[in-house]
Chains A and B, each alone.
Chain A
Amino acid sequence: MSTAEASAVTTSRKGGLHPADSLPHGAGLWRAQVRALLQLELRKALLGRRSLIAYGLAGLPVFVMLVLMVAKRPGGAPVFESLDEARTVFSIIYQTFILRAVVFFGCVGVFTNLFRGEILDRSLHYYFLSPVRREVLVVGKYLSGVALTSILFVGTVVVCFLMLYPPFGLSRAVDDLLGGGGLGQLGAYVGVTLLACLGYGAVFLIVGLLFKNPILPAGAVLGWELIHFLLPPFLKRFSVIHYLKGMIPVPMSEGPFAVVSDPPPAIVSVIGLIVFAILVMVAASLRVRSMEIRYGDD
């Protein structure tokens, strides 16, 4: 909206004008609405009780890294004897704990509650009574979930990764980060975490819309993700972890029983997860379009 248009904004219906007459139309309006949804949802989420679980989950890896930093092996040697070893330990923690537990359950908590939480709070009708397309509402809520989980879990990953360096001194840390590939690895972990939030977020957005009690379906998804290394290559494609694994900078052995298959190239993983998220949002929009407010039944 230009300055001239803004100055012409009226807050009354006098002269037949309605305040909404000055609003943009089409894509411009949708952008403004998504922005507003994002801000409102983030404000509610950051201060809400339901986010306490996500905060707790985000803090757990930091606590684990802190313990590893100060802990000694039985012979008295530190856990992180060398930087390479420290990176390997971090990769194991990242893949087994951060990615498969912290980010996973964090996304369960945040995304299943995007709509379900408001139904339980009996406040969803305020959105449904707003002149906002249900598709825009889905996009706004999903992006707010992605923003919240990304802020929390990317923050966790960055802090945990940087906690590898204190035992080796500041100059070593700077050298490794700037010249030893540390920054690249950190970037890769951040990227994988963002994609995990995107992918798991989409899964649990639709789970929250389809199931009144999302615990069982979330458990089923967890089981599927955990056994994915045993799945034949075709079925592996239907798990989020399959697209993330190939981008993790320090690979981890999956054991003797794993069905080995080449992970997709990074570009395929990124585009694949984005397309998956879009398809889920289309499905979620169709579901939300047909939703009616009947809190008593929920």
Chain B
Amino acid sequence: MSRDPVGASATGPAVVEDASSAGAAARPGVALGPNLSLRPNISLRNVSKFYGDVLGVNRVDLEIGPGITGLVGPNGSGKTTLMNLIAGLIRPTQGELEVLGIGPNRPEELFREVGYCTSFDSFPRGLTGRQFIVDYLRVHGYPRRQARELTELALERVRLVESADRKVAAYSKGMRQRIKLAQALAHQPRVLVLDEPLNGLDPVARVEILDLFRQLATEGLYVLISSHILHEVDILSDRVILISHGYIVAEGEIHGVRSEVTERPMQIFVRCDHPETLAAAVFAQDGASEVQMHDDRQGLLLRTRDAERFFALMERLVLEGKVSVEAMGPADEDVQAVYMYLVGDEGVA
């Protein structure tokens, strides 16, 4: 039996819901584009998970394609529940869930395709790092030689070869994170679910691991990462899922998500030689709600509800030679800003 190599990247739909709807019934979101994937993705259809009366996640509809997807939300928002559902550790109370076309009732196939680095900082007792990975690969059914080969590859990827023969119990927090990551990677899954994988890593290790995630994404893996460090999600993710109180608040590429948040004016920064001229032109035009001059008077920050119209104005001013632009771009088209607009400032850094 052979498997298809991972196919073309899919652009998932961006869906935005009013944060105020969290806690009330979920409303259908705005789809920005069709799912272009020709192969099965990670798909959740109307998935809910309740722990008794306690809501885990509610009515989640998601289609996650290859590449890096950031999962962002405050503590208790349902991130881990969503990851546990996708990884097959728990089952939905209602709804349907498939990972690469495999349902949770086919664990022998599912867990070959899924690697999950959980947030649990716990390990079987008495094992070295190498034994930990080899022994669980043996449980997959691999013969000892092949399990050892796969283990070495995984240890090399997380750069833990030299410490692999030490007991896991003697590892630092960062090393425990790495060995968990190696264990999740060792069987070469196509879907990698990572719950706060950068916790406890020193800055150098963070850079190395972020590079590894990017490399895995370029290899066509589906990498789902949760983090409460919005900056890391921002620089790493191809798309984001914002979750709050068990509801998906927004999902998609960050640009698409931001453009859907129409009730918040877009912030744009401009560095130019005549910011006063630009400010005057902007005020003469409807749509700008606020303009703020930079301290060095070499640029400005403006808020507008009609970015397209502003860019047309800029183009005209530049062509007429009234301003010379050094740099320009959106100032709040990042995860941090979108998160603040939709979720608020709880539980993230």
- Chain A interface residues (CB < 8 Å from chain B): 1, 6, 9, 11-13, 15-24, 29, 32-33, 36-37, 39-40, 43-44, 47-49, 118, 121-123, 125-134, 292-295, 297
A143 to B143, CA, bound (A): 20
Q: Is B43 an interface residue (CB 8 A)?
A: no
B51 neighbours in A (Cβ, 8 Å): 294, 297
How far apart are B79's CB and chain A's nearest CB, in angstroms? Answer: 15
Q: Is B183 an interface residue (CB 8 A)?
A: yes
The 8 closest A-B pairs by CB, nearest first: A36-B138, A122-B122, A131-B111, A47-B126, A292-B90, A11-B149, A40-B135, A293-B89
Chain B 107-128, CB within 8 Å of chain A: the 1/0 string?
A: 1111110111010101111110
Contact of B183 among A9, A126, A128, A295 (CB under 8 A): A126
Given the interface contacts A121-B124, A129-B114, does A1 sit within 8 Å of B187 by beta carbon?
A: no
A29 to B2, CA, bound (A): 17
B131 neighbours in A (Cβ, 8 Å): 43
A13 & B140 in contact (Cβ 8 Å cutoff): no
A19 & B188 in contact (Cβ 8 Å cutoff): yes
Q: Is B44 an interface residue (CB 8 A)?
A: no
A47 to B112, CA, bound (A): 29
- Chain B interface residues (CB < 8 Å from chain A): 1-5, 51, 84, 87-91, 107-112, 114-116, 118, 120, 122-127, 131, 135-136, 138-143, 145-146, 149-150, 153, 183, 187-188
A167 to B125, CA, bound (A): 43
A47 & B125 in contact (Cβ 8 Å cutoff): yes
B122 & A131 in contact (Cβ 8 Å cutoff): no
How far apart are A225's CB and chain B's nearest CB, in angstroms? Answer: 31
With both beta carbons as reference points, the residue of chain B lying nearest to A9 in the complex is identified as: B146
B124 neighbours in A (Cβ, 8 Å): 40, 44, 118, 121, 123, 126
B120 neighbours in A (Cβ, 8 Å): 122-123, 125, 295
With both beta carbons as reference points, the residue of chain A lying nearest to B184 in the complex is identified as: A129
How far apart are A87's CB and chain B's nearest CB, in angstroms? Answer: 40
With both beta carbons as reference points, the residue of chain B lying nearest to A118 in the complex is identified as: B124
Given the interface contacts A125-B89, A131-B107, does A44 sit within 8 Å of B118 by beta carbon?
A: no
A24 neighbours in B (Cβ, 8 Å): 141
A43 neighbours in B (Cβ, 8 Å): 126-127, 131, 135
B140 & A132 in contact (Cβ 8 Å cutoff): yes
A6 & B143 in contact (Cβ 8 Å cutoff): yes
How far apart are A39's CB and chain B's nearest CB, in angstroms? Answer: 7
A36 to B143, CA, bound (A): 9
Given the interface contacts A1-B143, A19-B150, A20-B140, does A13 sit within 8 Å of B188 by beta carbon?
A: yes
B126 & A20 in contact (Cβ 8 Å cutoff): no
B4 neighbours in A (Cβ, 8 Å): 16
A40 to B149, CA, bound (A): 18
A39 & B135 in contact (Cβ 8 Å cutoff): yes
With both beta carbons as reference points, the residue of chain B lying nearest to A47 in the complex is identified as: B126
With both beta carbons as reference points, the residue of chain A lying nearest to B138 in the complex is identified as: A36
A22 to B188, CA, bound (A): 14
B108 neighbours in A (Cβ, 8 Å): 29, 131-133
A118 neighbours in B (Cβ, 8 Å): 124
A39 & B188 in contact (Cβ 8 Å cutoff): no
Contact of B187 among A20, A29, A122, A128 (CB under 8 A): A20
A293 neighbours in B (Cβ, 8 Å): 84, 89-90
11 new A-B contacts at CB < 8 Å, known A15-B2, A40-B139, A133-B107: A18-B188, A20-B141, A23-B142, A29-B108, A39-B138, A44-B125, A121-B122, A121-B125, A129-B87, A130-B136, A131-B141
Contact of B146 among A19, A47, A123, A292 (CB under 8 A): A19
A293 to B195, CA, bound (A): 15
A49 to B131, CA, bound (A): 18
B141 & A44 in contact (Cβ 8 Å cutoff): no
A16 to B90, CA, bound (A): 30
B2 & A128 in contact (Cβ 8 Å cutoff): no
Q: List 9 A-B contacts (CB under 8 A).
A: A9-B143, A19-B187, A20-B140, A39-B135, A43-B131, A123-B122, A129-B114, A131-B108, A292-B90
A127 neighbours in B (Cβ, 8 Å): 139
Contact of B125 among A21, A32, A49, A126 (CB under 8 A): A49
B145 neighbours in A (Cβ, 8 Å): 6, 9
A40 & B112 in contact (Cβ 8 Å cutoff): no
A131 & B126 in contact (Cβ 8 Å cutoff): no
B141 & A126 in contact (Cβ 8 Å cutoff): no
A126 & B112 in contact (Cβ 8 Å cutoff): no
